[in-house]
Structure 1
């Protein structure tokens, strides 16, 4: 799973979220690990205690962000969390909708991490996923533009997160064009280009925009070559003729 850039959410994370949502819906108690997470994010436990936090407790916390002061405590600690814990929480946040304030803080932290070349690409990808369901689409799109303009857009994990979780934002022609350029030049390679574009072409709203981008005379040689290899030799020339 770790070496596969096209698979991100392990089954255990999905199951933890399912159990957390089920217990909330059925109004049954959260797992015994939930209280530890609350105490940790409230600053009541040592910072190094994060490794003892249970996945189910983290999922329970995320699915109960609107209860008590959970969101406030997460916002207070967000930028101070150990990276592995932030990564896990970001993955879990993909399955819920953060409120405006939390989405803004996640976005701000993402933008800060883009400035550091030593940031792990999987963390950038996870933070993209964490804000993907937020209501502030303008703020999300601004963050996506920053990601696409950064070297991180060449990373397979990052470009897949953009394609799978934020495809509605790709309806903007300039953003889509940059996305395609980065995808063609990126580490996902030709296999990644083929697979991602094949999926996106099935989306009715994106298909005509992608075809239009394919015909853009300003597209790079790298993108033209990727298109040609995907759809057959000579395609990149033929699309200009229509």
Structure 2
């Protein structure tokens, strides 16, 4: 066996078929060729969270069982993958299982693999999203929770939503383009109670949405804005639901309006966490930072520190630190940021 120096090299040498997903902010496929470049430090990790890469690795050997690893590896200040973590993890796997990655794990081996600094347990919603994605890829049936959810969406009245399962929302999201599901979701969206709406929006974060549903979500935002006291959490969830859709002018215009008329910590967190691509627009980035500057200093520091690690936003944000046209409030917030960094 030749020297193993990357995770993809290891999985290939072990004779596995595998695929990679990012699980940081939402479920996203990560192309093998791109990850190989990341492993060679030829490009930064595209979706850092807390200066780490959060990965799901799905693999199997021919006609063998399917396995999942959930791995978190640190990134350096440039967003490049630090090679020590993956190498140490692979050494642990080889020591525990060898190179075949097959057979049943006994309790001692399973505990040894689980007790290391590079594995993590994903949030329940991300686990449901990944399970739904893989089930569909493998042509497996949806969970038993999908049918009750569809029945509820057809007539969303009363308290029946308490019995709906999270996995049903993830299964529905994976099938959102199906001709019997898309109209059902679009029609029910204006009438859903908040707990159901929030669960639906969370599930939709990880899938590409048909234009009809993107329009229905924007319409529900309009509906919420027209209320006497719009709910900031509802507006934030409706924005988050569009996380896997590419930026487009209509949504950016809506975000601009929300930032200037109904800014809230929930909205700022939603944009920074799920829609950072929209902030590549200079006008929207300025509106976002101005709104962020009026919140608590801790939130400004937290979100600025996260966004500046994103390769697509780093130069723009660093430029904002010395923008002569920024407001007094933004200038103070940036000054406080420098003071905190020097403390």
Flag whether TM exceeds 0.5 (same fold). yes
- Are 1:39 and 2:114 counterparts? no
Q: Which of these residues, 190, 198, 204, is aligned with residue 297 of structure 2?
A: 190
**Aligned match of 2:8:** none
Within the alignment, does 1:91 sit opposite 2:202 as a pair? yes
Runs of 4+ in 1 over 3 A off after TM superposition: none
Does residue 1:179 correspond to 2:288, yes or no? yes
Range with greater deviation from structure 2 (73-82 or 12-21): 12-21
Tell me which moved more, 100-109 or 116-125: 116-125
Task: Provide the residue aligned with 2:229 in structure 1.
Answer: 118
1:1-242 superposed matches below 5 A: 11-43=123-155, 46-116=157-227, 118-135=229-246, 137-151=248-262, 153=263, 155-186=264-295, 189-232=296-339
Compare the two structures and name the one with the higher strand fraction.
2
CA distance in 2, matches of 1:141, 1:101: 17
| CA deviation after TM superposition for structure 1 residue 128, in Å | 0.8
How many angstroms apart in 1 are the aligned matches of 2:305 and 2:331?
16
For residues 39-94 of structure 1, the C-alpha deviation after alignment (integer angstroms, 9 at most, x for no partner) is: 12223x75431222111112211111122410111111110111110111011111
TM-score (norm 1): 0.83
- How far apart are residue 122 of structure 1 and its match? 1.8
Q: Which segments of 5 or more consecutive residues in structure 2 lack a partner in the other structure?
A: 1-48, 51-121
Structure ranking higher in helix proportion: 1
Secondary structure at 2:241 match in 1:
helix
Cα displacement string for residues 187-233 of structure 1 (whole angstroms, at most 9, x for unaligned residues): xx111111211122223432332233333333222211110111139
CA RMSD in angstroms, aligned pairs only: 2.3
Show structure 1 runs of 5+ residues with no match: 1-5, 236-242
Larger Rg: 2
Shift of 1:135: 4.3
**Is this contact kept in 1: 2:209–2:245, CA < 8 A?**
yes
Q: How many residues align?
A: 222
The separation in 1 between residues aligned to 2:219 and 2:167, in whole angstroms, is: 27
CA distance in 2, matches of 1:41, 1:217: 51
Distance change >3 Å, CA 219–CA 117, structure 1 → 2: farther
SS at match of 2:254: helix
Asked whether the equivalents of residues 132 and 140 of structure 1 are also in contact (C-alpha less than 8 Å), the reply is no
* Alpha-carbon distance in structure 2 between the residues aligned to 1:225 and 1:232: 10
Deviations for 1:110-142, whole angstroms, at most 9, x for unmatched residues? Answer: 132133353332221111111122246122212
2: CA distance, partners of 1:209 / 1:216: 10
Distance verdict in 2 for CA 1:204–1:103, change over 3 Å: same
Contact 2:279 2:285 (8 Å CA) reproduced: yes
Contact kept? 1:125, 1:161, Cα under 8 Å: yes
Contact 2:177–2:209, Cα closer than 8 Å, also in 1: no
